[in-house]
Amino acid sequence: MITYAMVIDTRTCIGCGDCVVACKNENSVPAGLNRDWVVEETRGEYPHLSTEFRSERCNHCAHATCVTNCPTGASHYWKDTNIVLVAAEKCTGCKACIAACPYDARLIMHPDGYIDKCTFCHHRVDQGLDPACVSSCPTHCMHFGVLNDADSLVSRLLRTRNYKALLTETGNEPNVYYLV
Amino acid sequence: MVEEVLVTARFNAKVDPSLTIWSWEIAVYLFLGGLTAGIMCFAAWSLLADKDKELPFAHNRFALWAPIVLSVGMTTLFLDLEHKLYVFRFYTSFQPASPMSWGAWILVLVYPLMVLQVFSTLRRGYPVLAGWTEKIPFGTGLLEFCERWRRPIAWWVIPLAVGLGIYTGVLLSALSARPFWNSGVLGPLFLVSGLSTASALAIIGARQAGEKHFFARTDLTLIGVELMLIALFLINLSTGTEQQLAAVHMVMGGTYTVPFWAWFVLPGLLIPLVLEAFELRGIRGFAMIASVLVLYGGFMLRYLTVELGQLSRWTDYGIQFDPQLLLRLTP
């Protein structure tokens, strides 16, 4: 299985939100809905504060509870990868996957009613391109690649930098990493 | 201090600021699904135990209620789907890891079986309906077939009905992303609640005092077991993870303490427990009100569980974007 990962450097992210806009443009996400978002986390007590920006989205978990809980097989892994997609023609809109996602990364695609989410821009990945959010990042803090390849940029970054992933304690094995 | 705020908009409908994906439709379905399981179990058991004389309502007439109750539940379940035209997709695959897929297929097995169960008791329970059935082609043959095989049918009904009752709880408990639901106790709790509500319905439906008395006694035991399971459920969450502690706090001092204890446990379990105890001690006149309260409690259990599960979560951002503010921009 090919494991695609996104590695985001929280030290160079400035929280501009370009990734969010790029996603909406690339994927024609309707107004009012979002597949990705930016979180500002502040820790400490004044004046000893530290702030971290995180561009968040679906974590394309290797053990995705949204896929296991889908009753129709609409939520699935794309080809032999960890990219989690929803097949609209199989989705009943039962919303079990929304309840099953600890990251609350799924949404109802109005007005059609099927469930939608970040796709890691698999249509671009298929052509050897980066996802739109990664391509548009003005500070180049976002990186995308194959985790199984030891020479890929994402593998090298994770080898040489301190990093974290979100809610690893859920056992979902997320594949969006944050350099800290 | 840790503070997480969204610096870009995220206000996905029914997801932010907290999940509101499932509402009364799911609560009604889970309630009626459990009630159906209870009805089928009591109807099958009274037949297998040859309680024709002692429990004539359960033996002859109760089974007919099951498909009616379940069909109402299935209708509300359908109303909840966002992509309704694709409902047939439940039946184009089987996903062994998905409790909802199990539920969809259990219903395929339960429906024909419950219809056979109804036909096996129709002549005794509802002679008029049996008369109509005999007028349709193969109607008489169907009735005779079901009557001849009524015991094997009843034997099959019990495990499937138990499966249906437990599945309504497992459906929620399997969703580990919602800490309030993530307890194995939910399956047995919903099953016992389903049996209890079915007993209450039997008290309302039964005509003989002896049968009412039997179901009041049964319900008393079931309410006791249900209270014990609720205690175990709360202990389970109270000794769980940080997220489960936050989830259980909602009913143990938090914002849902009054709805949980004053609107559910007290009127839905404790008061009917006392009233049914009165009834059994010979102080008559409380059976009907106790039954209605048990049914109300059964619904409230599902309603609050559905609601509280959606309020409990792993991620909790300060949602900064308020779409209502946009409306103020236009003069």
Condensed to tens digits (0 to 9), the pLDDT of residues B158-213 reads: 999 999 999 999 999 999 999 999 999 999 999 999 999 999 999 999 999 999 99
Q: Could B97 and A104 be called an inter-chain contact, meaning their C-beta atoms sit closer than 8 Å?
A: no
Q: Measured between alpha carbons, how far is A127 from A125 in angstroms, rounded to an integer?
A: 5
Model pLDDT, residue B317: 81
Residue B148 burial (C-beta neighbours within 10 Å; 0-12, 13-18, 19+): exposed
Contacts with B82 from chain A: Cβ below 8 Å: 92-95, 108, 113-115
Q: Could A72 and B95 be called an inter-chain contact, meaning their C-beta atoms sit closer than 8 Å?
A: yes
Q: Could A104 and B315 be called an inter-chain contact, meaning their C-beta atoms sit closer than 8 Å?
A: yes
pTM: 0.94
Spacing of C-alpha B153 from chain mean position: 23
B73: confidence class by pLDDT, cuts 50, 70, 90: very high
Chain A with chain B: Cβ pairs closer than 8 A: 166
Listed residue (B115, B27, B31, B19) closest to B66, CA to CA: B115
Spacing of C-alpha B302 from chain mean position: 7
Only one residue has tokens 């459906």, namely B171
Residues 171-190 of B with CB under 8 A from A: 174-178
Q: Could B177 and A170 be called an inter-chain contact, meaning their C-beta atoms sit closer than 8 Å?
A: yes
Residue B103 burial (C-beta neighbours within 10 Å; 0-12, 13-18, 19+): buried
User: Which of A10, A72, A118 best tests the B interface by mutation, with the highest count of B CBs <10 A?
Assistant: A72
Note the pLDDT tens digit of each residue in B254-271.
999 999 999 999 999 999
Task: Give me the residues paired with residue A2 across strands.
Answer: A81
How many angstroms away from the CA of B167 is the closest CA of chain A?
13
How many angstroms away from the CA of A18 is the closest CA of chain B?
10
Residue A176 burial (C-beta neighbours within 10 Å; 0-12, 13-18, 19+): buried
Interior/surface letters A93-128, b for 16+ CB within 10 angstroms, e for the rest: bbbbbbbbbbbbbbbbbbeebbbbbbbbbbebbeee
Helix/strand/coil for B309? helix
Interior/surface letters A20-40, b for 16+ CB within 10 angstroms, e for the rest: bebbbebbebeeebbbbbbbb
A150, two tokens: 């030891």
Note the pLDDT tens digit of each residue in A120-167.
999 999 999 999 999 999 999 999 999 999 999 999 999 999 999 999
Helix pair angle (B150-173, B139-148), 10° resolution = 80
Helices (H), B81-208: 99-125, 127-135, 139-148, 150-173, 186-205
A107: confidence class by pLDDT, cuts 50, 70, 90: very high
Contacts of B88 (CB under 8 A, 6+ apart): none
Spacing of C-alpha A79 from chain mean position: 18
Q: Is the ipTM of this complex over 0.85?
A: yes
* CATH number of the domain that residue A65 is part of: 3.30.70.20
Q: Measured between alpha carbons, how far is B21 from B290 in angstroms, rounded to an integer?
A: 33
Contacts of B210 (CB under 8 A, 6+ apart): B54
Model pLDDT, residue B260: 97
Full domain range(s) for residue A37:
4-179
Q: Torsion angle of alpha carbons B273, B274, B277, B279, nearest 10°?
A: -110
Q: What is the arithmetic mean of pLDDT over B240-263?
A: 96
How many angstroms away from the CA of B21 is the closest CA of chain A?
7
> Which among B8, B22, B83 has CB closest to A17?
B8
Q: Could A34 and B11 be called an inter-chain contact, meaning their C-beta atoms sit closer than 8 Å?
A: yes
Contacts with A70 from chain B: Cβ below 8 Å: 95, 98
The 10 Å Cβ neighbour count of residue B145 is 15
Note the pLDDT tens digit of each residue in B104-157.
999 999 999 999 999 999 999 999 999 999 999 999 999 999 999 999 999 999
Q: How many domains does chain A have?
A: 1
Listed residue (A142, A148, A140, A123) closest to A57, CA to CA: A142
B279, two tokens: 């009834």
